[in-house]
Copies of this chain bind each other. A is one copy, B any other.
Amino acid sequence: MKKNILIVPGDGIGQEVTEVGKKVLIKIAEKFGHEFIYDEALMGHVAIEATGNPLPDETLEKMRASDAILFGAVGHPKYDNDPTAKVRPEQGLLKMRKELGLYANLRPIKLFDELLGASSIKPEILKGSDILFFRELTGDIYFGEKGRKNNGDTAYDIAEYSRYEVERIARRAFEAARTRSKKLCSVDKANVLETSRLWREVVQALAPEYPDITVEHQFVDSAAMMLIKDPRRFDVVVTANLFGDILTDEASQIAGSMGMLASASVGDSTGVYEPIHGSGHDITGMGVANPMASVLSAALLLDISFGLKEESDAIISAIEQVLKAGFRTRDIADSTTAPEMILGTDAIGEEILK
């Protein structure tokens, strides 16, 4: 198979982990006889520094021309501490999602058995958890009009959803539920928000088309609690952009660490694959970032964008073997881990490549 893959490392530890993800892709191509052609592009803070624009046109063009994108992270504390900054790395991320029509963000939350002890949640609560989140990614309060009035003293953000936007993400979630345990949980805040009431209406209206799927509706506050109390209650979860942002980060604790979680953003054309952890400026340059989320993003890329299931499974099993052998990065080590088994980004990358 011949494919164009664009590498967009972005900011902070995005640079460090994406390099490992790319190496794994190169190795897979070698082993399975594919031809992957790589290009690289700037985004986020590094792009602002170089061009003034968090998502330069050149990057967007390269993205459009690619078959899939392996992405790192964007963000920099400089902007976080300055709420008045006009240009921000995140604008690039949001623009990419919108321009490429990446309306479905898939976040599989699966716990590797070896990491049962790494979570703050009790192993007996976690064991067997396996959740697939569908987060809507191009609507909601992220993309509605926002601004100031009253001389800047009042700020507003408009949340908005249209029927077709809810429908297309809900359909993907229903379809996925078919291939899994046939349970779908839709999360909203329909007791308060009009967008949530539309959301619930649409999901309810689709349900008869999927008579084999059991649909449940949960309020976001209750879901945030239940995810921790009893994660095994959940299988496929579908929710709006903002709720998905919060719940999937929270759910990362089910997998032991954010450092283990990959995500796929897909829509009608190319797909973007990225760790759910951010740019991690507190540990940037220290060489300790966990590259497994980037490696698992590469696995998702092969599976979802290229349909290469065997190649994808090979990556997951490599990670399983590294974990079984006892190797850990700092974030997933626990009190029983021997210091010499705690490896840095590149060293654990080498183990995965083996």
Query: In the complex, what residue of chain B is closest to A222 when comparing beta carbons?
Result: B249
Confirm or deny: A212 has a beta carbon within 8 angstroms of a beta carbon on chain B.
Answer: no
CB distance from A335 to the nearest CB of B (A): 10
Identify which of B157, B195, B228 contacts A121 (C-beta below 8 A): B228
Confirm or deny: A225 has a beta carbon within 8 angstroms of a beta carbon on chain B.
Answer: yes
Confirm or deny: A90 has a beta carbon within 8 angstroms of a beta carbon on chain B.
Answer: yes
Identify which of B80, B150, B228 contacts A250 (C-beta below 8 A): B228
Q: Which of A163-195 contact B (CB under 8 A)?
A: 163-164, 189-195
Knowing that A154-B162, A222-B278, A225-B258 touch, tell me 14 more A-B residue pairs with CB under 8 angstroms. A80-B217, A83-B198, A83-B201, A88-B191, A141-B193, A144-B156, A148-B194, A156-B161, A157-B159, A157-B195, A221-B246, A222-B249, A224-B249, A225-B252
The answer to whether residues A153 and B159 also contact, given A90-B192, A190-B83 and a CB cut-off of 8 A, is no
Query: In the complex, what residue of chain B is closest to A203 when comparing beta carbons?
Result: B83
CB distance from A156 to the nearest CB of B (A): 5
CB distance B224 to A247 under 8 Å? yes
CB distance B90 to A230 under 8 Å? no
Query: In the complex, what residue of chain B is closest to A258 when comparing beta carbons?
Result: B225
Chain B CB within 10 Å, residue with most, of A75, A163, A243: A163
Q: Which of A191-209 contact B (CB under 8 A)?
A: 191-198, 200-201, 204
Chain B CB within 10 Å, residue with most, of A84, A94, A147, A157: A157
CB distance from A74 to the nearest CB of B (A): 10
Confirm or deny: A125 has a beta carbon within 8 angstroms of a beta carbon on chain B.
Answer: yes
Q: Can you list, as one digit per residue, whether each of A34-54 has a CB less than 8 Å from chain B (1) or not (0)?
A: 000000000000000000000
Query: In the complex, what residue of chain B is closest to A160 when comparing beta carbons?
Result: B156
Confirm or deny: A318 has a beta carbon within 8 angstroms of a beta carbon on chain B.
Answer: no
CB distance from A197 to the nearest CB of B (A): 4
CB distance A156 to B194 under 8 Å? yes
Q: Which chain B positions have C-beta within 8 A of A144?
A: 156
Q: Is the interface of A mostly helix, strand, loop or mixed?
A: helix
Q: Which chain B positions have C-beta within 8 A of A161?
A: 154-156
Confirm or deny: A120 has a beta carbon within 8 angstroms of a beta carbon on chain B.
Answer: yes
Q: Can you list, as one digit per residue, whether each of A83-118 has a CB less than 8 Å from chain B (1) or not (0)?
A: 110001010001000000000000000000000000
Complex CA gap A80/B158 in Å reads 23
A-B contact pairs, 30 of them (CB 8 A): A75-B191, A80-B190, A80-B217, A81-B217, A83-B201, A83-B204, A84-B197, A84-B201, A120-B230, A121-B228, A141-B157, A144-B156, A147-B194, A153-B163, A154-B161, A154-B162, A155-B160, A155-B162, A155-B194, A157-B158, A158-B159, A220-B246, A221-B249, A221-B250, A222-B278, A224-B249, A225-B250, A225-B252, A228-B250, A229-B253
CB distance from A229 to the nearest CB of B (A): 5
Q: Which chain B positions have C-beta within 8 A of A306?
A: none
Q: Which chain B positions have C-beta within 8 A of A157?
A: 141, 158-159, 193-195
Q: Which chain B positions have C-beta within 8 A of A250?
A: 221, 224-225, 227-228, 250
